[in-house]
Amino acid sequence: MPLSLSPSTSPPAASNLEATPKGPDKASPIIHLSAVGKRFGNHQVLADINLSVHHSEVVCLIGPSGSGKSTLLRSMAFLEEYDEGEIHIEGRLLGWEIDDRGRRKHAGRTRLNQARRNLGIVFQQFNLWPHMTALGNVTEALVRVRGIKRNEAEKRAMEVLDKVGLAEKAKEYPARLSGGQQQRVAIARALAMEPKIMLFDEPTSALDPELVGEVLAVMKQLALEGMTMVVVTHEMGFAAQVADTVVFLDQGSIVTRGTPSEVFRDTQHPRLRQFLQNYLDRNAFWHTTTEQEN
Amino acid sequence: MTFDLSIITANADAIWNAFLVTIYTWLAGSVLGLIAGLLIAALMLFGGRPLQRLLRVFIELVRGTPFLVILFLVYYGGPSFGLRLGAITAGVVCIAGYSSVYFAEIFRSGFAAVPRGQLEAGECLGLGRLQLMWRVQLPQMLVLILPSIINMLTILCKETAVLSIITVPELTAVLTGIGTRTFTFIETLLVLCIAYLLLIEITSRAGRWLERRVGTYLQR
Amino acid sequence: MFDWPTFLFSLPLLGKALLITLQTSLLGNAIGFVIGTLIASMQLAKMPLLRRLGGSYIFIFRGVPLLVQLLVIYYLAPMFGLPNLPPMVAAIMALSLCSGAYIAEILRGGLLAIPSGQREAAHLLGMSRPAILLRVELPQAVQSTLPSLVNELVLLIKSSALVSVVGLADLTRVAQNLASSDYLFFQHYLVLAGIYCLINIPLTMFGRRLERHLERSLA
């Protein structure tokens, strides 16, 4: 796969970047954000965010820290309450209800859970439950939420753990797993609920560099299988390779968006260029070689 | 001054019964206190603002009042609005009520010690708040708060001695009773001290053993 | 329900009793602090015997209910043919011996937290061991454990209600006497609880503020 972030090396042909096989295959977006905003006191964390994610699309949110990209992603699961605009998931308004007088109030638990049913979320800090084994983590919601019998749930959990390459670690407690393994269990836990959309909140930021690859590989596989994904990441290589759309946020607004090649190569936007330059400066010694692939 | 333990053996039955009363008031009060404390902590987490305030006031008032005074209020003051309890029952009720606020504080700090992210993860998977409390928070925090709970249990064990003042026939009441009747203070008080020291030591040893056992399953 | 004239009549009596309660608690706390310092430094001493002694002291005085300690102190003197201790003396003795054990535990934690380099530095300057303890270590230990020490004072004020059993006319005893003279048990005990709360709740809040302040200054 083409991977060129270094402006000094010869850039790959644009066609290679755009050759990513997947694209939106259904007309209506599965997630739709219109004019979403959020403020903490006087500080506008998110402003006028408009974004659509279609079936099987992979959207990567990039931007400097404090740009609001994590807040945006967490809003998509209503872990953060957005207070302006609307987020629709599969046509359902997320987190809010409009009452008779047109004012909005918090949606009830069941309604929120209905909307969240389509979502799987993976966090930066894994957030595994340390007192349960890997298997226990994956089975818990299957048993308690979906009401599946324990045997059945464990069978299903094992399949998903196998998918992330951890079938033989099923009986281990999280503390005995490496960060990369823990994050893969967390991915399995989300996948077991068969979500239509996977949200990743900086899934590799808490990992030692040598463990990043195994997690990205699992995510790449998911993308290839056609999972709809929204990923907040600092891994520009991953974004360049896997994303259909890259969205660059700064100071709570979407500054620019486009295909990876548009964003990483062709952009003239000064803030984005600065951001990418900073990234390259930090990671200069990796100096990725450009392999060609058809 | 003489030292004659025969006074103890002669009253062995009475002392044994007193010991049982001590154990009963201690454990029954503690278990009820634990349950009430968990309830208070849960209500403070999930209840609305007014309820939280109300419970906060209740906690502060009970914490500010000596156990003996609570005992007087319930046992002697209770009948003035129809609450007539036997001494032992009053003792159990008071230990439960007194300890509930301390246990509530312990549980509250335990709830707070479980990282929020773990709850968010569960919420996103559709787990309800009660399910999360029961399945995620409680098992983890029990490990964290076990030392505080054991400490509270030893404190309560000692508080049962105060029940002697409202005539509960527990160890302190019975042994000092024997002492005053027969003028054998040294023997009776010595046995009394040893009994409490033993109870406290057994409790804290059991606590440390339990801590090691439950601690390992998190670190494995 | 609430008999106001009786309440007003009882106030001066309760006020006098409050002084007794405060006197015993504060004196008990002060002497307990001295005992606590002694026991804590014994526990941290090099000599095994001293450590053993300090440990036993804490084991016994934390393991036996305060009420029983009071009874022992009160009844023991007559056993040896001596007259009963005056209630005030017995009360302060019991409170200070008991709180000494708890304060020792608190101070030990504070002393252990002081980097050993400080002691070595003071030693090199020629300071004696007691001087190091009093002038270098104790002030720091007290500062870092002040919230716990305040908390201990609250516990002691509450425990002081028990001294009524040896006949000292403290708050609880006076309320008891009032109640048994007019049978307004609930009212008198409610007022009694209120007075304790009026002292203890502000003290607790003060302790919490100290704790927050301490956390902030360490962060």
Q: Name, in order, each residue with C-beta under 8 angstroms of B1's C-beta and a sequence gap of 6 or more.
A: B186, C79, C80, C81
Domain range annotation of chain C: 4-218
Task: Determine contact: C148 vs chain B, CB below 8 A.
Answer: no
Alpha helices for C44-128 (secondary structure H):
48-63, 66-79, 87-112, 116-124
Inter-chain touch C63–B197, beta carbons under 8 Å = yes
pLDDT of A25 higher than 50 = no
User: How far is C-alpha B40 from the chain's CA centre?
Assistant: 15
Confidence of residue A21 (pLDDT cuts 50, 70, 90): very low
Q: Which long-range contacts (CB under 8 A, 24 or more apart) does C49-58 make?
A: C54/C104, C57/C100, C57/C101, C57/C104, C58/C101, C58/C104, C58/C105
Cα–Cα dist C14/C179, whole Å: 12
pLDDT digits (tens, 9 = 90+) for A80-137: 888 888 999 988 888 888 878 878 888 888 888 888 888 999 999 999 998 899 999 9
- Mean pLDDT taken over chain A: 84
Confidence of residue A17 (pLDDT cuts 50, 70, 90): very low
Task: Determine contact: B135 vs chain A, CB below 8 A.
Answer: yes
Give residue for tokens 């600065």: A274
Instruction: Please report residues of A whose CB lies closer than 8 A to that of B121.
Output: 121, 123, 127-129, 186, 189
Angle at C166 between CA C160 and CA C168, to 5 degrees: 65
Inter-chain touch B159–C65, beta carbons under 8 Å = yes
Q: Which domains are assigned to chain B?
A: 6-218 (1.10.3720.10)
Residues of C36-50 as b/e, b for ≥16 C-beta within 10 angstroms?
A: bbbbbbbbbeeeeee
Touching chains A and B? (3+ Cβ pairs < 8 A): yes
Cα–Cα dist A56/A226, whole Å: 5
Task: Determine contact: B117 vs chain A, CB below 8 A.
Answer: yes
pLDDT reported for residue C16 = 87
Instruction: Please report residues of B whose CB lies closer than 8 A to that of A137.
Output: none
pTM as predicted: 0.80
Q: How high is the mean pLDDT in each 10-residue block of chain B (220 residues)?
A: 72 88 94 94 85 91 92 88 86 94 92 89 88 88 88 93 91 89 84 92 91 65
Cα–Cα dist B63/B160, whole Å: 17
Inter-chain touch C64–B193, beta carbons under 8 Å = yes
CATH of C4-218, one of 3.40.630.30, 3.30.830.10, 1.10.3720.10, 3.60.20.10: 1.10.3720.10
Taking a C-beta distance cutoff of 8 angstroms, is the pair B194, B10 a contact? no
Positive/negative CA dihedral, A80, A83, A88, A93: positive
Q: Which of B72, B94, B105, B171 to mutate to test the interface with C (most CBs of C within 10 A)?
A: B72
pLDDT digits (tens, 9 = 90+) for B171-184: 999 988 888 888 78
Is the ipTM reported for this complex over the cut 0.95?
A: no
Instruction: Please report residues of A whose CB lies closer than 8 A to that of B127.
Output: 140-141, 144-145
Range among A11-25, A157-171, B70-84 rated most confident: A157-171
Other Cβ atoms closer than 10 A to C208: 13
How far A115 CA sits from the closest chain B CA (Å)?
10
pLDDT reported for residue C175 = 86
A-B interface: how many C-beta pairs under 8 angstroms?
68
Percent of chain C topping pLDDT 90: 33
Interface list for C 190-209 with B (CB within 8 A): 190, 192-193, 196-197, 199-201, 204
